[in-house]
């Protein structure tokens, strides 16, 4: 927030997974769940899958990242979001390009970022940490999937491997598995191709619904598919918004892909407060439905605290 009562943000996307970014180096302007919902609303607000706030880091971290999904709920980590956050921080002079250490609610992450050859474009490689395989999903509840696997990427995922799902299956099964974990899970439907050793996914993100890409989900599907013998250690994963590249290593998983800055956004604080009040009133009155993908009737669920 500046002296004129304006909130200055930038908008970015990574493979179509779009975020609003607030640079707040002195940690003076936290964003509430209702404010995040209002900003992310694609019809009444600015529209985004989530809002990121960058504050100055401590210790080895140059930055700390806070992320709220479109429903206002806190998320631990986003592979696409963290690249967008670093791009905004580089553009805004908070950090330089190269290797940037970022503290997330899912742990400390390393991002190698370089600006692209064209204005607004960049490319980042993220050390995503390990993909911890959880329980396999029993065949009695799999439905049309060939196998299912829970994966922890610092945030929870349910990976369903099989054929490409139809729209009805996707919109019905995605929310059901999202609700299978307290606080919500991200749900990835994944199938082989189009190239040899490649994968294609469609993702239902907690707190956002269907999105164009999911970085942690991309890593989760590769970790699970490799464990099931479907792919090797270097895999291109085709998200609806574009391909992302994953490499499995002994120390963890790396995710690489592009970012693009879309533009600069100025929001009047008085206007934002009025929008929050109006949306809350409409939600309370049942005049509008909750943000798609919300886990509890539009109310944000706090699922993590900063480490």
Say what percent of the chain tops pLDDT 70: 92
Tell me, yes or no, whether 118 and 193 share the same domain.
no
Confidence of residue 97 (pLDDT cuts 50, 70, 90): very high
Say whether pLDDT at 129 is over 90: yes
Tell me, yes or no, whether 109 and 77 share the same domain.
yes
Say whether pLDDT at 306 is over 60: no
* Cβ proximity of 68 and 296 under 8 Å: no
Confidence of residue 4 (pLDDT cuts 50, 70, 90): low
The pLDDT value recorded for residue 299 is 34
The pLDDT value recorded for residue 146 is 96
Range with the lowest mean pLDDT among 191-205, 226-240, 270-284? 270-284
Number of domains in the chain: 2
Residues 281-293 pLDDT 10s: 888 887 665 554 3
**pTM of the entire predicted model:** 0.90
Phi, psi of 191 (to 5 degrees): -145, 160
Residues 222-243 pLDDT 10s: 999 999 999 999 999 999 999 9
Residue 166 is part of which domain span? Answer: 132-250
**Rounded to whole angstroms, how far apart are CA atoms 305 and 231?**
34
Tell me, yes or no, whether 231 and 273 share the same domain.
no
Tell me, yes or no, whether 106 and 32 share the same domain.
yes
Tell me, yes or no, whether 86 and 100 share the same domain.
yes
Tell me, yes or no, whether 236 and 150 share the same domain.
yes
Mean pLDDT over residues 260-289, rounded? 89
Tell me, yes or no, whether 222 and 278 share the same domain.
no
Say whether pLDDT at 298 is over 60: no
Mean pLDDT over residues 106-122, rounded? 95
Asked if residue 305 is part of any domain, the answer here is no
Tell me, yes or no, whether 64 and 137 share the same domain.
no
CATH number at residue 94: 3.10.310.10
Confidence of residue 297 (pLDDT cuts 50, 70, 90): very low
Asked if residue 1 is part of any domain, the answer here is no
Say whether pLDDT at 302 is over 50: no
Tell me, yes or no, whether 236 and 268 share the same domain.
no
CA-wise closest residue to 160 among 171, 172, 147, 173: 147
* Cβ proximity of 30 and 275 under 8 Å: no
**Rounded to whole angstroms, how far apart are CA atoms 102 and 64?**
5
Q: How would you classify the pairing of strands 234-239 and 242-248?
A: antiparallel
**Which long-range contacts link 89-96 to residues 24+ away (Cβ below 8 Å)?**
89/23, 89/54, 89/63, 90/115, 90/122, 91/10, 91/261, 92/10, 92/23, 94/23, 94/25, 94/54, 94/56, 94/62, 94/63, 95/62, 95/63
The pLDDT value recorded for residue 2 is 61
Tell me, yes or no, whether 96 and 187 share the same domain.
no
């Amino acid at each position: 927030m500046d002296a004129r009562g304006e909130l200055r943000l930038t908008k970015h996307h990574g493979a179509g997974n779009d975020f609003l970014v607030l640079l707040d180096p002195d940690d003076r302007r936290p964003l509430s769940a209702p404010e995040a919902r209002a900003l992310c609303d694609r019809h009444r607000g600015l529209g985004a899958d989530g809002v990121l706030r960058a504050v100055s880091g401590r210790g080895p971290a140059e930055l700390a990242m806070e992320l709220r999904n479109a429903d206002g709920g806190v998320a631990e980590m986003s592979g696409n979001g963290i690249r967008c956050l670093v791009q905004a921080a580089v553009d805004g002079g908070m950090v330089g390009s190269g290797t940037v250490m970022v503290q997330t609610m899912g742990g400390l992450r390393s991002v190698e970022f370089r600006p692209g050859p064209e204005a607004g474009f960049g490319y980042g490689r993220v050390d995503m940490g390990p993909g911890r395989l959880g329980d396999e999903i029993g065949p009695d509840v799999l439905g049309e999937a060939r196998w299912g696997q829970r994966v922890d990427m610092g945030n929870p995922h349910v990976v369903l491997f099989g054929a490409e799902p139809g729209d009805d299956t996707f919109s019905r099964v995605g929310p059901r598995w999202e609700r299978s974990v307290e606080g919500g899970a991200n749900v990835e439907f994944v199938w082989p191709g189009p190239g040899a050793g490649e994968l294609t996914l469609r993702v239902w993100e907690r707190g956002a619904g269907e999105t164009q890409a999911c970085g942690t989900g991309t890593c989760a599907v590769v970790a699970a598919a490799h464990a099931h013998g479907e792919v090797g250690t270097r895999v291109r994963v085709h998200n609806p918004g574009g391909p992302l590249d994953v490499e499995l290593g002994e120390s963890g998983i790396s995710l690489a892909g592009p970012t693009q800055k879309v533009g600069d956004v100025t929001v009047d604080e008085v206007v934002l407060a009025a929008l929050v009040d109006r949306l809350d009133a409409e939600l309370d009155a049942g005049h509008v439905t909750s943000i798609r993908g919300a886990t509890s009737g539009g109310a944000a669920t706090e699922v993590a605290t900063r480490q």
